[in-house]
């Protein structure tokens, strides 16, 4: 699995936590539930594609 995708997701979680963004964390939790379901039902290839798309959609932090 591409570690950069996991890193991007962790950065999003960290940012949301730093901003004390409870609603954002709730949305992220729902997204993670979907990710886990997809990984279980569709396999690693679909999970990697999803995480890659999520990482590309994140704003670039400078």
Query: Among positive and negative, which fits the CA dihedral 35, 39, 45, 46?
Result: negative
Environment class of 31 (CB within 10 Å of its CB; exposed 0-12, middle 13-18, buried 19+): middle
| 25-42: average pLDDT | 77
> If pLDDT is split at 50, 70 and 90, which confidence band does 41 have?
confident
- Number of C-beta neighbours around residue 8 at 10 A: 19
pLDDT at 15: 74
Residue percentage of the chain with pLDDT more than 70 = 73
pLDDT at 20: 67
Report the candidate in 62, 56, 49 with the shortest Cα–Cα distance to residue 8.
56
Averaged pLDDT score across all residues of the chain:
73
Assess whether pLDDT exceeds 70 at residue 62.
no
pTM above 0.85, yes or no: no
């Amino acid at each position: 699995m591409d570690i950069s995708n996991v890193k991007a997701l962790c950065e999003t979680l960290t940012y949301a936590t730093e901003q004390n963004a409870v609603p954002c964390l709730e949305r992220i939790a729902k997204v993670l539930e979907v990710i886990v379901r997809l990984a279980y039902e569709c396999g690693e290839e679909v999970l990697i594609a999803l995480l890659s798309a999520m990482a590309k959609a994140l704003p670039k932090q400078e």
